A and B are shown apart, each in its own frame.
Chain A
């Protein structure tokens, strides 16, 4: 499925990334590495030749105007894109020295290790306890005490104190912010290495958002986090590194395709962006 290489890139070299990871400090190892990843929906190329690596225990933000493919890239990191009709990935995404789109790789196993939190909180119509216990149960995790695991996950998600007396109640009764933290706890329960977050706060009020941003800082110690956000200030607040995407017209088809423009430490990207398009976006001239 991913063997044929794209030999004639139709987006000119100059248009693409001007900042590459090797200019940055290499102390943190790369956990998840995209090599020339292009993502297609049928004939439409949504994302063109993206190369970037996500480093352990860092928060990386993907920002850019709408339609630039950042959510598409995120969803391809844990093979959730497979669920879309006609979706296809070219290039490689390396995780533990294995291309997760390799022929022999089990997408289910990938998703256990690379978890995802969605834009709209989606708790299951079950009790709070069963929501957390769901993941470990379905993947067959051997657990000495499920009660302890649930408590641990909720504690790490900064939700334990608020729900410890009502674990058996339906998760749908929680507020939006609580539901999102529940979804984070649910993801943590299966012990992933990477947590992907697709605009996790866009459906929440500012206070709930703040709680989740604080939570992200704590989670960073144990997990690698990649977050898509359309809120630049949020990226500036939480992310160690930021990748800026934009949509360029494809020279052959005329459709707009997403490309990676710049990828650097957040402070550097925001204060002294190397690419003019990054600067335009950050200063609000477009997007």
Chain B
């Protein structure tokens, strides 16, 4: 049974449909990447799944149970299982690095402080920022902030990690460190749903790649299938364009 299952999802902005007939499943331990041109609805999908945007039609199943986005308690429970890292990192500007990572487990979830502190230290060491615990976000580079955001997401021990174009807002020389962090984490077996433009990264890391355009899925397959032997013309077109450089 897949961890996350999406069936016939439809979402729109006013009269404009941003997601249509969307069906996809994410197995436990899998790394699923969404690729496609801008405006294809990739980031919208993540936001819809997090309950940040409304659904018109269709269903989302987590661990076999249907998610009722209108029910506050269900939404709360869902957000406890999925953690998202944003393109703009969105670190809490008024808190230090360590506080950013610790605040949600301690204040919101009310986990014991000692355990949270230990776990937070582990995570920050993992992402390579153990020496900047007391720094504020505006003292860090974009790459460093994004790594803190990853640690913050993982502090909640989520079942799935959503990564929404996490390197898109970074200077080129900082992209590598963030991708490296994700590569290391993938070896821990965390389930991930990634939206990215970094094709080399997607190709090497993913277990499944989904190509989207205009709110619909065009083709799904392994990285080898999508990048080396695409079936659809549109996929071929897109892959050809991006892999040229």
Do A and B interact?
A: no
By a beta-carbon cutoff of 8 Å, the part of chain B in contact with chain A is none
Which residues in A have some Cβ–Cβ distance to B below 8 Å?
Answer: none
